[in-house]
Structure 1
């Protein structure tokens, strides 16, 4: 199987000095998609940005995986509300002109 655009979790684990169980916990919470290829766990490279944020929350602020889930859900809601506000402001400008 090809592993293009996928990163071995063991590599990430050693680089960031985080246990593999942390990634499994994030996967169980639905925050991380893990693909098993050739009997090894991989993640797609497009998940790295969010994963790095999760690792920083965990290491620097001592946030557990459940807390990370809460933080990311709140960030998604904020992002959705900001997009909604921009769309509403754009519609309002149409009526003002």
Structure 2
């Protein structure tokens, strides 16, 4: 079983000059997964690119968290659709 690596929420927030409540809110919206170990909160390493992308939408473009949630869900849906389209194209090429 592979062990997951984590980054402290405090460390992440200090590096991005944001409050830890922002990450808590992202977790409440289901946008970023946060793990609690001992008395500290951690973000899995695999979630970091997603968390940084969401932060850019929220801080750089000044989009509220509800809007970020909608945008994130739509982008995930587009990605799944593109993956399905590629899979179906590959399947179709077998019959050509």
Tell me the C-alpha RMSD between the 2 structures.
1.3
2:47 equivalent in structure 1: 47
Q: Distance in 2 between matches of 1:88 and 1:45?
A: 31
State the partner residue of 1:58.
58
Question: Quick one: distance in 1 between partners of 2:29 and 2:89?
Answer: 35
User: Which consecutive unaligned segments of at least 5 residues does structure 1 have?
Assistant: none
Normalising by structure 1, report the TM-score.
0.87
Superimposed CA distance per residue, residues 23-81 of structure 1 (whole angstroms, 9 cap, x where no aligned partner): 11111111112122221111111110101101111111111111111111111111111
Superposition map of 1:4-83 within 5 A: 5-83=5-83
Q: Which runs of 4+ in 1 moved over 2 A?
A: none
CA contact (8 A) 1:22 1:65 kept: no
What stretches of structure 2 of length at least 5 have no aligned partner?
A: none
TM-score scaled by length of structure 2: 0.88
- Number of matched residues? 93
Q: 24-33 or 84-93: which moved more?
A: 84-93
- Greater Rg by CA: 1
